[in-house]
Amino acid sequence: MSGEKIKLLRPSMDYAEDIMKYRQEFLANNPDEDMGGTGNLKDCEKAEDWLLYVEALKRPETCPEGLVDSDTYLAVRESDNKIVGIIEFRHHIDHPILGLWGGHIGYCVRPCERRKGYAKEMLRQNLVNCQKRGLSRVMITCSETNIASEKTILSGGGKYEKTVWSEELRTYMKRFWIAL
């Protein structure tokens, strides 16, 4: 890693301005890029809307129908308190698909903060969270052309399973498992 320590924090209004800067940076950099692990941030005009969405996904009883409860974290650099990434894991093990997987991790690193080791550290810290939730394994995916994410996943213990077509993302996705 670049030497800069990060911590995973629950999203809050304390970071509202930086959440929207994070969103804007993605939209300015590549509006078509998948912002994995951020839920509906791309569609939110205000941080408050996104924070309500994230909170609703935190517990099965408040999770919107058809979605899966999850924990979302801001990866915040300790030195300047800036968001460098967002990561989530979906863990509703009664779900017909995720129950087979054990859970699923999605994440993305702010475009200006890539190639600094933050993705590996975000994944490492989030795997600890997955263990605390009692998961024995999680699935993590990346597009088949995203070599950087694939390297991060492999370095985190990912074992390649197969490549599948994602209708939602309109691309082929590589699926990996990480045993906890």
For the domain that residue 83 is a member of, what is the CATH number? 3.40.630.30
HSE-up of 74 (CA within 13 Å, CB side)?
25
Query: What domain range includes position 101?
Result: 6-179
H or E stretch including 56?
Answer: helix 47-57
Query: Are 53 and 39 spatial neighbours (Cβ–Cβ below 8 Å)?
Result: yes
Assigned domain for 132 exists? yes
How far CA 46 is from CA of 1, 49, 104, 109, 129, in Å, comes to 32, 6, 26, 20, 28
* Phi, psi torsion values for 169, nearest 5 degrees: -95, -10
For 6-39, how does the pLDDT look when each residue is reduced to its tens digit (9 = 90+)?
999 999 999 999 999 999 999 999 888 888 888 8
DSSP string, 153-168: HHHTT-EEEEEEEETT
* pTM of the complete model: 0.88
Q: How far is CA 76 from the centre of its chain?
A: 14
Q: Is the pLDDT of residue 76 over 90?
A: yes
Q: Does residue 106 lie in a domain region?
A: yes
**Beta carbons of 173 and 145 less than 8 angstroms apart:** no
The tens digit of pLDDT for each residue in 43-64 reads: 999 999 999 999 988 887 887 7
Matching residue, tokens 């498992």: 177
Residue 89 in any domain: the answer is yes
Q: Is residue 29 part of a domain?
A: yes
- The answer as to whether 1 is a domain residue is no
Answer whether residue 15 is part of any domain: yes
Report the number of distinct structural domains present in the chain. Answer: 1
153 is a domain residue? yes
Least confident of 79-83, 89-93, 108-112, 117-121: 89-93
- 131 within domain boundaries: yes
